[in-house]
Amino acid sequence: PGKAYGYTEEIAATLITSQTLQAKIAELAVAVAADHHNPKPPLLICVLKGAVMFVTDFAMALPIPSELEFMAVSSYGSATSSSGVVRILKDLDGDITGRRVVIVEDIIDSGLTLSWLLKNLQTRGPASIEVVALLRKPDAVKVDVDVRYVGFDIPNEFVVGYGLDYAERYRDMPFVGLLDPKMYL
């Protein structure tokens, strides 16, 4: 796995192939569209950087028009786990008052990032907020977040690719893989 990208020695296995990702994204897009058909296009908020691959494929798979915003957040503290104290690195460009917001996230690990983000965005007066998350680790969740659309529940292992990084690497792989433990041990 990862051969074409020069990561062969670093990726232990493929967890979700590109094909399987795309099939699931098409399903998620149909489900979100069914709940957001009118009157105004939903506003997709991509949580940078991890969700960047997902949001582009998801927006193009959505059978209805949507608009796109980006937000970048960062947790303080240790590099390997979120502290729950979040700081905004890049805020939304526009006002979300009265909008139907769909937060697009690559993964819910502890749930701390999303929990903070939901609270933050709720204060801005949107008409509704839903979350679509491609991946979720049920065994890692520390705070329960109400997520309507989830692609895959995955084991509590170190996954990379399709936007997910380890020290900023591997985001460019078109599939989700398991990082070889030798890379972080």
Can residue 111 be called a binding residue for ligand PRP (CB under 6 A)? yes
Can residue 24 be called a binding residue for ligand PRP (CB under 6 A)? no
Residues binding ligand PRP: number (CB under 6 A): 17
Can residue 171 be called a binding residue for Mg ion (CB under 5 A)? no
Q: What is the 3-state secondary structure (H, E, C) of the chain?
A: CCHHHCCCCCEEEEEECHHHHHHHHHHHHHHHHHHCCCCCCCEEEEEECCCHHHHHHHHHHCCCCCEEEEEEEEECCCCCCCCCCEEEEECCCCCCCCCEEEEEEEEECCCHHHHHHHHHHHCCCCCEEEEEEEEECHHHCCCCCCCCEEEEECCCCCEEECCECECCECCCCCCEEEECHHHCC
Can residue 110 be called a binding residue for ligand PRP (CB under 6 A)? yes
Q: Which of 95, 109, 139, 172 is catalytic?
A: 109
Cβ closer to Mg ion: 157 or 165?
165
**Smallest distance, ligand PRP to C-beta of residue 20, A:** 19
For Mg ion, the binding residue among 69, 130, 165, 180 (CB under 5 A) is: 165
Residue ranges that bind Mg ion, judged by CB under 5 A: 165
Interface residues with Mn ion (CB under 5 A)? 50
Task: List residues with catalytic annotation.
Answer: 109
